[in-house]
């Protein structure tokens, strides 16, 4: 099984310092949903792992988060893309949970749920250092995109070893799907 794990805000949709608190505020980054569709066509299952501390802070509730994700699923379907599952951490930073990135809890849960080791080259894509740290600790190959907080993340440095950098999710997918073709005689 081919699996890829994506951060949400700043990778699939435009990020906001004020949090994405409603479906109206969830706006896809140009080309991101089409990139997910191309992954699906190549046999990838696409899973999202996202910190949503706005829930823990009381900025929006679970019903609203579900409505936001419903909009994301609907928008994806319109371009033939399928997001298999959304794993989210609803906790605030001081809740000290095991799921909030940079902790690898969500990645380990994904590994369990899909019955797949992440150490066999499963790719994770994020725009923040903590996305890449969480994925790296869980065994994923980290990819930084420069959308969302990505430019700032690159400037600050300290990326996990082997991190690859691409302008956006579409660029990552261009690269992944360009992998050498096996020739059989
Ligand atoms: Mg992000
Ligand atoms: Zn959590």
Residues 22/64, Cβ–Cβ less than 8 Å: yes
Residues 4/141, Cβ–Cβ less than 8 Å: no
User: For position 50, what pLDDT does the model report?
Assistant: 98
Protein residues near ligand 1, an ion, with CB under 5 A: 7, 9-10, 127-128
The ligand that comes nearest to the alpha carbon of residue 146 is 1
Residue 182 has pLDDT above 90, yes or no: no
Which run of H or E residues covers position 51?
strand 44-51
The ligand that comes nearest to the alpha carbon of residue 52 is 2
Radius of gyration of the chain (CA): 16
Residue 162, helix vs strand vs coil: coil
User: For position 180, what pLDDT does the model report?
Assistant: 63
Residue 185 has pLDDT above 90, yes or no: no
Alpha helices in the chain (DSSP H): 32-41, 53-56, 62-78, 105-114, 129-138, 150-156, 169-177
Band (pLDDT 50/70/90 cuts) for residue 155 is very high
Percentage, residues of the chain above pLDDT 70? 96
Protein residues near ligand 2, an ion, with CB under 5 A: 89, 91, 97, 99-100
Q: What is the pTM for the complete model shown?
A: 0.95
Work out the average pLDDT over 27-38. Answer: 98
Residue 184 has pLDDT above 80, yes or no: no
**50 C-alpha to ligand 1 centroid (Å):** 7
User: For position 183, what pLDDT does the model report?
Assistant: 65
The predicted-structure confidence for 160-171, as pLDDT tens digits, reads as follows 999 999 999 999
CA distance 116 to 132: 19
Work out the average pLDDT over 111-128. Answer: 96
Residues annotated catalytic, as ranges: 7, 9
Residue 120 has pLDDT above 90, yes or no: no
> DSSP secondary structure string, 94-119?
GG--SSSTTSSHHHHHHHHHHT--GG
The predicted-structure confidence for 68-93, as pLDDT tens digits, reads as follows 999 999 999 999 999 999 999 999 99
């Amino acid at each position: 099984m081919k699996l890829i794990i994506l951060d949400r805000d700043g990778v699939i949709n435009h990020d906001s310092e004020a949090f994405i608190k409603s479906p109206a505020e969830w706006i896809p980054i140009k080309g991101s949903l089409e990139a997910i569709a191309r992954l699906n066509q190549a046999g990838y299952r696409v899973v999202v792992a996202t910190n949503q501390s706005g829930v823990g802070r009381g900025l929006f509730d679970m019903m609203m988060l579900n409505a936001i994700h419903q909009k994301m699923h609907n928008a994806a379907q319109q371009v033939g893309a399928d997001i298999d599952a959304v794993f989210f951490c609803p906790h605030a930073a001081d809740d000290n949970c095991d799921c909030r990135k940079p902790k690898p809890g969500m990645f380990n849960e994904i590994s369990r749920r899909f019955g797949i080791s992440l150490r066999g080259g499963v790719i994770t894509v994020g725009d923040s250092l903590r996305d890449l740290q969480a994925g790296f600790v869980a065994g994923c190959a980290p990819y930084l995109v420069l959308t969302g907080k990505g430019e700032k993340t690159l400037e600050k440095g300290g990326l996990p070893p082997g991190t690859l950098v691409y302008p956006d999710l579409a660029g990552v997918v261009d690269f992944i799907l360009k992998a050498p073709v096996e020739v059989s005689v």
